[in-house]
Amino acid sequence: MKTNKLITKILLLAAVGCLNTNISSAQDEPENPNAELSKQVTALKPGESNFMMAGLVTFGFENHATTFKSGGIKISTDKSNSIGDVDRYEFSPMFLWRHGDKLLAEFEPSWDGSQIGVNWADVSYFVAPGFIVRGGYIVLPFGTYTKRLAAGWINKLPSDPMGVDMAGSDFGVEVQGGFPIGNMKWSYDLALSNGFQLNNDGTIAGVGISAINNGKTFTGRVALLPLSNSSLEIGFSGLYGSLATPQDATFSNIDPTNTKGPNLSMYAVDVNFIQNINPIQLNFKAQYSAAMVNNMNYINPIDTSSYTFTNTTSTYFAQLSLRPVQLKNKILKKFELAFRYVNYTAPKQSAWGQNYSEVDMSLDYWLSWRTVLKLGYEMINSDGTSIHNLNSPELLNGTSLGTNRMVIQFSTEL
């Protein structure tokens, strides 16, 4: 008992000594007014900030034969094949960082085997249900393909339709959302961006982050889902803005008294329909788009004479895919058969004038809901309508290119 009392006294004395030491130290150190704030900043708060990497990988093999004709006479035939060629290879990791329930940062670089680019890099703020504000390097809301269907594991065919990337990505701000209307729904996506410039051959190019004029470009898409099960979507898109004029520009207004610069107008209509007809899932998608630049005078690169042309470019595609998703056979239900027709018309008499058409078909095997193996065959024909072209003689009026291409492609979402 005496031993226990002695141990108790020693422990009490040690505790008092430690308390006195802490009090003395606290009196020696100045009080930190930001101590509570520091604790909040450094404290781990699960769920408030999250980081994730997603993205996609697309890898393929391509074999093609291209025949060049002039005046209906065969000139040459080119045959080649490539593993992981630039048309069918993409590694695009997407980095996502969310802070709380309101803020989301996205960054998706992309490597095509030869160079690194950026698909988009932006910050989104979720203001309220049906209302999102976004800023940065954004995919412009023109049509439905570029923003929603271009990823290899979403696209039913191995390649992209010609000309669907008319608008592409740009630096700007965007508002996006949607609301129900009774049993129907509608969505909106509006953006204001730096826009484009007109090149000396009549083509357009993005000005990037350093806009060289004060004009901005407005892009918008409004879509309606008229059925209660949202199986049908119809979208309408428009783009309008003034085109910047580079310092080395050689084009000019047709009317010399007109001091206004060139401008660009674009519009698109798209349809998306999905329906299960036992045991088949039918998936139909189509889009028509056109871009119009007001007529200007250009310089012929061959003889430096002045000429003009109607600068309108149009493209459309329609695709249908069939998949027996309701079959009991676990192997057969993973196959999907897809068809697509593409038509692209560049301005006649322009340096890149052509009438282009493409018929594609693909047999897809879905290893999972986000991983697919495709075997595709493409038949492409292009008739040149250019009256002058120093760099691409195959586009001259009276020439044609015919290509048969076989593609094997693997694509997955990360």
Q: Flag whether pLDDT at 9 surpasses 90.
A: no
CATH number, position 257: 2.40.160
Report the share of the chain in percent with pLDDT over 70. 88
Provide φ and ψ at 102, rounded to 5°: -110, -30
- In this prediction the pTM is 0.84
Q: What are the residues whose beta carbons fall under 8 Å from the beta carbon of 5, sequence distance 6 or more?
A: none
Q: Which two tokens stand for residue 341?
A: 């027709």
Decide if 79 is inside a domain.
yes
Decide if 248 is inside a domain.
yes
Secondary structure (3-state) at 41: helix
Decide if 6 is inside a domain.
no
Query: What does the alpha-carbon distance between residue 256 and residue 252 come to, in Å, rounded to a whole number?
Result: 8
Please state the rounded mean pLDDT for residues 394-404: 91
Give the chain's domain count: 1
How much of the chain is helix, strand and coil, in % rounded to 5? 10, 55, 35
Decide if 221 is inside a domain.
yes
Decide if 22 is inside a domain.
no
Helix (H) or strand (E) run with residue 182 in it: none
Written as one letter, the residue type at 88 is: R
Burial class (CB in 10 A: 0-12, 13-18, 19+), 235: buried
Lowest mean pLDDT among 13-22, 57-66, 169-178, 229-238: 13-22
Alpha-carbon torsion, ordered 366, 372, 377, 381, to 10 deg: 130
Decide if 73 is inside a domain.
yes
Query: What does the alpha-carbon distance between residue 67 and residue 200 come to, in Å, rounded to a whole number?
Result: 30
Reported confidence tier of residue 269, pLDDT bands at 50, 70, 90:
very high
Q: How far apart are the first and last CA of the chain?
A: 70
Considering only CA atoms, which of 398, 414, 382, 377 is closest in space to residue 159? 377
Residue-wise pLDDT tens digits, 33-82: 555 655 554 554 555 788 999 999 999 999 999 999 998 899 999 999 99
Decide if 24 is inside a domain.
no
Lowest mean pLDDT among 40-54, 126-140, 221-235, 309-323: 40-54
Decide if 48 is inside a domain.
no
Secondary structure (3-state) at 166: coil
Q: Flag whether pLDDT at 375 surpasses 90.
A: yes
Helix (H) or strand (E) run with residue 60 in it: strand 49-70
Residue 67 structural domain: 53-413
